[in-house]
């Protein structure tokens, strides 16, 4: 009964000025387009998808324009809906593609990460957080690949690693630290491969292994 009531409230919450939301599975699918099964015209309006395991649980709430996802969407974790902690991610679509800001959440409802999509690919800064709210990482994406500076942190706030990526590969100067702040590794990557002289601290002694020379900057 509790789940059925929640489902009813979800639909009511859309508002009286909007068309009644339809089940995506009741529409016809043609590629990424959703069509009215009777008129075969692209559907526009609010829609939802129910859990395959429980027909009373909404797992996705979206809006369509001319048959394609367009506007805000909410993706739910069906296992946590009854507790009111069901939202897994939120964001927006534009003409069928993910576009704009999006956010991910822990089951507790605490923000887990956030970033930006550009034509269905992650682009720009992505930030993630521990469940206690402290920063976990800050990375840079370009056209869906890691490209640019990154920082990773321990849960106590101490820097874990810092460096940069190019086209999805570690590239450039990189540093790694122990949880107490001591340097663990420092060196240079050339498209994912170590190069030049590194500094390694295993906790008891410091060594300086040598790799193939790094190419000129």
> For residue range 117-172, what is the model confidence (pLDDT) as tens digits?
999 999 999 999 999 999 999 999 999 999 999 999 999 999 999 999 999 999 99
- 87 in the same domain as 39: yes
Quick count: other Cβ atoms within 10 Å of Cβ 166? Answer: 17
- 8 in the same domain as 59: yes
Host domain of residue 11: 2-122
- 152 in the same domain as 198: yes
Whether residue 12 is predicted with pLDDT greater than 70 in this model: the reply is no
Q: Which residues in 56-147 belong to E strands, given as ranges?
A: 58-65, 68-69, 71-76, 87-94, 97-98, 100-105, 111-118, 121-122, 124-129, 135-142, 145-146
- 166 in the same domain as 100: no
Flag whether 137 is in a domain.
no
Number of domains in the chain: 2
Flag whether 139 is in a domain.
no
pTM: 0.80
């Amino acid at each position: 009964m509790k789940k059925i009531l929640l489902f009813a409230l979800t639909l009511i919450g859309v508002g009286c000025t909007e068309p009644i939301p339809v089940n995506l599975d009741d529409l016809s699918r043609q590629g990424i387009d959703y069509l009215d099964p009777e008129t075969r015209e692209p559907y526009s309006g609010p829609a939802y998808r129910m859990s395959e395991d429980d027909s009373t649980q909404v797992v996705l709430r979206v809006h369509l324009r001319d048959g394609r996802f367009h506007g805000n969407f909410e993706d739910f974790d069906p296992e946590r809906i009854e507790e009111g902690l069901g939202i897994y991610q939120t964001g927006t679509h534009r003409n069928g593609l993910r576009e704009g800001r999006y956010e991910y959440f822990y089951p507790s409802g605490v923000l887990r990460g956030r970033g930006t999509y550009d034509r269905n690919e992650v682009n720009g800064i992505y930030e993630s957080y521990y469940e206690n709210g402290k920063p976990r990482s800050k990375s840079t994406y370009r056209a869906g690949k890691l490209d640019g500076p990154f920082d990773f942190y321990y849960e106590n706030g101490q820097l874990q690693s810092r460096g940069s990526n190019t086209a999805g590969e570690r590239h450039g100067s990189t540093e790694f630290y122990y949880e107490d702040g001591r340097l663990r590794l420092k060196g240079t990557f050339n498209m994912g491969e170590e190069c030049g002289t590194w500094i390694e601290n295993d906790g008891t002694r410091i060594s300086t292994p040598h790799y193939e020379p790094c190419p000129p900057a």
